[in-house]
Chain A
Amino acid sequence: MNASPPGSEPKYTGRVRVTSPLAAAPRHVRRSVREEIDESTGVGEVYMRSLIRSQFRAALTVVTTLALSLGALPIVFRLAHDVTTYRVWSIPLPWLILGAVAYPCLVVLGWLYVRQAERAERDFSELVETESGDISPETDRP
């Protein structure tokens, strides 16, 4: 565009043929995430890495929870030895925790993890599938 002062009318000196400079280039094809993943492009890599990272984060959350609860118990029993003499319904606390209470807690932890992991996968597949459904090359081309 010419740098003409605002307000001044541009002068036309003749007829101008308007053409697209990209007429010979292929039409711009938007590709689905699924294709990006299949072809291992940079975009596909980004999607894959984010899926793997979110799944790994869920796994690490479980491990951290385990380390701070069950994993810390031997040290707690050793350092705060009075805890072990505490009794519930005449059962010593360590026996109650290790013999019974720990098991339902493990199942709940597993259930929470499965919920989280399945949600991450659902989000991922929705992302991938909707994009590919809307603008797949088949519907985009004439």
Chain B
Amino acid sequence: MNTTYGVIAISVVAVATIGIGAFGLRVSRTTSDFYVASRSVRPWLNSSAIGGEYLSAASFLGVAGLVLASGADMLWYPIGWTTGYLLLLVFVAAPLRRSGAYTIPDFAQVRLQSERARQVATVLVVAVGWMYLMPQFQGAGLTVRTVTGAPGWVGSVVVATIVVVNVISGGMRSITFVQAFQYWLKLTALLVPLFFLLDAWTSDGRPSPVAPSDWIDPFTSTGATGLYLTYSVIAATFLGTMGLPHVVVRFYTNPDGHAARRTTLIVLALLGVFYLLPTIYGVLGRIYASDLVDSGRSDAVVLELPSRILGGTSGEVLAALLTAGAFAAFLSTSSGLTMAIAGVVGQGLARQTVGGRRLSGIASLRIAAACSVLVPLGLALAAERIAVANSVTFAFALAASTFCPLLVLGIWWRGLTARGAIIGLIGGGVGAGIGPIVTIIAAPSGWFGTVMSQPALWSVPLGFGLMIVGSLVTRGSIPRNVARTMVRLHTPERVAVDRRDR
């Protein structure tokens, strides 16, 4: 691959990202601007921003890589990431916006009236965020290495730096512009090369992929294990989306609950359009680049295809476009995650006093942003590479086992108590957290290894079960104002009811 084009592509995306972010800086003044863009983002802009934020390295590179390597069973990942938004729409979108809180810990406090529940939720937001940031930085390293031949840490550090600069300069408002821009960049970057690739494939006589039958058919060789893994992926992705901190924080930027629903519906359509594309890359990869599987570089298939199929200058230009899209994917998802973690940690910091005076809201957000990037960056540089889409799934499983029960039960069930919620958050979190730790450290084989490698199918019911049983046992401590909270969560804004806490 031509290094010059690739470097130009990465530089253009980086400069455009910082440029749009700086534009945001000029309109970003108050703390509310920083945290939630003053809640004035219209559905189309907000949907593009959510799409841009959500489509990470796992979607842009990972899905095609998984399809190339493992075939039909992997189609569940993009389906799950899209369906997650449908479930978010029906259970969470409007009430979450109406709750009037900034973050998940805020929601926990509003609903449960408990400082302890807030702290547990804060720790989990940071954990989910770090788990999700790590593969983004790793993917950035992989891309820069593929394109320029530079060592892997260069890409990770570049992405981390741009993200921190962006968050520090403009907060949520500038992030919104950047994210919206990056959705359309990512879609274009996958769509345009695909026309050329399919044209070349057609003039090549439309060869079919040569693959073993277990690549084409679902569960031929894997049997019951395959069934467990598939349903576990379904549980994690369907239910995890609503608990991802960078997704949730976006809902507070809608003007009202009605707009929150509209936004989610548009996101569903935007994701549906996008996810049609990586699968085709995966199949084309099976035809023209199946050697990448053996060399363990299947995540690079999207970047490699143009030079393999087309070659020449056109291949290099298209490869540069794909590189730009991939880089946009790392930048947007990492920005959103950093913003979400920084928002939560920053709120915690703003309550502390340093040297006898309180930190301002914006100052603590800036400090938190810088800090919350360093740990996952260190992990990304230290850890060995796992498939990008796989490690993202651990984050989904953790969110599905903790925040999904908290939100669904908190919004729809009056009986949820603070102690029940805390027990469920900890139990579900430990369940979903043990999986990746055991898998990475011990890599057990057999059914135990299978159960640990995809924990969601048992850890999500564990989280729900503990939360329900814990709440029933501590029935006496249901928050006294729960009826009022329910009014606030569920009545449409046009009804002028009293929404204050009492």
Contact = CB atoms under 8 A, between A and B. Distances in A.
Q: Do A and B bind each other?
A: yes
B319 interface: no
B486 interface: yes
Interface string B425-455: 0000000000000000000000000000000
A34 B495 contact: yes
B262 A114 contact: yes
Contact of B264 (A34, A45, A92, A110): A110
A106 B268 contact: yes
A109 B412 CA distance: 21
B268 A110 contact: yes
Interface band, chain B: 35 or more
Interface centre among B76, B218, B275 (most CB of A within 10 A): B218
Contacts of A43: none
B222 to A, nearest CB: 10
A128 B276 contact: no
A110 B230 contact: no
Nearest to A53: B412
Contacts of A81: 217, 220
Contact of B72 (A34, A37, A98): A98
Contacts of B216: 92, 95
B75 A94 contact: yes
A63 B87 contact: yes
A135 interface: no
Nearest to A120: B492
Contact of B269 (A34, A102, A107): A107
Given A66-B83, A103-B275, A125 B494 contact: yes
Contact of A98 (B75, B85, B496): B75
Interface string B476-500: 0000000110110011101111100
Interface string A103-142: 1101101110110011001101100110000000000000
A34 B79 contact: no
Contact of A37 (B218, B258, B265, B491): B491
Interface stretch (B88-96, B137-145, B353-361): B88-96
B495 A111 contact: no
Contact of A34 (B87, B208, B412, B497): B497
16 contacts: A40-B484, A59-B90, A66-B238, A70-B234, A78-B218, A84-B217, A90-B208, A98-B76, A99-B75, A106-B82, A106-B86, A110-B86, A114-B261, A117-B261, A124-B492, A125-B492
Interface of B: 72, 75-76, 79, 82-83, 85-87, 89-91, 94, 208, 216-220, 227, 230-231, 234, 238, 258, 261-262, 264-265, 268-269, 271-273, 275-276, 279, 412, 483-484, 486-487, 490-492, 494-498
Interface of A: 34, 37-38, 40, 45, 48, 51-52, 55-56, 58-59, 62-63, 66, 70-71, 74-75, 77-78, 81, 84-85, 90, 92, 94-95, 98-100, 102-104, 106-107, 109-111, 113-114, 117-118, 121-122, 124-125, 128-129
